[in-house]
Amino acid sequence: MCGRLAQVLTPAKAAEIFDVAEALPNAAPLYNAPPTSSLMVIRQNPATGRCHLDMLRWGLIPSRSRDMTVSSSLMNARSETVASKPSFRGAWKASRRCIIPADAFYEWKRNGDERMPFAVAHRDRSPMAFAGLWENWKDPADGAWVRSFTILTRPAGAPIDSIHHRMPVILPQEAWKAWLTAGPVPPTITAELPMPDLVVWPVSSRVNAVKNTDAGLLDPVSNIDGPSHQEQRQSPVENGSAELFSTFS
């Protein structure tokens, strides 16, 4: 599952990493983005083969929906069943695939009655490339077009599986082009992807509230019951989030 993420890299940096034709105007970094947020998404123009960076709403709205209320519940799509689920089948068949760049995402681990938040990122702090699907929806009220997306998920592997049983599908760089290019995708593509090299660390419970949006949300905190003290010791997050993510600004 992925219900909260940090998208800190600038549009210019995203354009450079993903070989995008044109970068968006500068956008503020997002350290605690929830569903319904507008996020940077990479899509490919099937006519030209060029990739473009656009702002899309997180939470897919099926093209035949009457309104946007369903969006929040469709923030994720299971990669194992996405091709057959009615809500996602149209986007899947039309090859409306996309990539969502993310510097980190958050997961919560239950500890009795408490839910402890953790941040997850690439060990080398390079942006992750989440596999997604996007869709067009026309608002019947005013005729405005809304473009939205969902993030594909897969069974979690180490070190995330000690916190949650699901995680986003994170594409390695060699899979970016194939994922974005229109055409059939093997149903097992996500199951065959290797586990990326990730690190996990505990963060402040302030991340629970979407009103909190500062960079300090990614700072590590002491957590005796954390899932992996070894990961915390090895991870350079000990130096704080401001230094870690400065290379993406």
Sequence-separated (6 or more) residues with CB below 8 Å from residue 201: 118, 119, 220, 226, 231, 232, 235, 237
Q: What is the pLDDT of residue 26?
A: 78
| pLDDT bracket for residue 186 (50, 70, 90) | low
Q: What is the pLDDT of residue 246?
A: 35
107 is catalytic: yes
One CATH from 3.50.50.60, 3.90.1680.10, 3.90.1310.10, 3.60.70.12 for 5-248: 3.90.1680.10
Q: Which two tokens stand for residue 163?
A: 């916190």
2 is catalytic: yes
Q: What is the pLDDT of residue 243?
A: 40
pTM of full prediction above 0.75: yes
Of the candidates 2, 51, 98, 135, the residue annotated as catalytic is 2
Q: What is the pLDDT of residue 236?
A: 36
Assess contact for 170 and 196: CB atoms under 8 A.
yes
Segments making up each domain of the chain, as ranges: 5-248
88 phi-psi bin (left φ>0, alpha ψ -120 to 50, beta other) = alpha
Q: What is the pLDDT of residue 67?
A: 86
Of the candidates 51, 98, 107, 135, the residue annotated as catalytic is 107
pLDDT digits (tens, 9 = 90+) for 116-171: 999 999 999 999 999 999 999 998 888 899 999 999 999 999 999 999 999 999 99
pLDDT digits (tens, 9 = 90+) for 187-232: 566 667 889 999 999 999 999 999 999 999 999 998 644 444 333 4
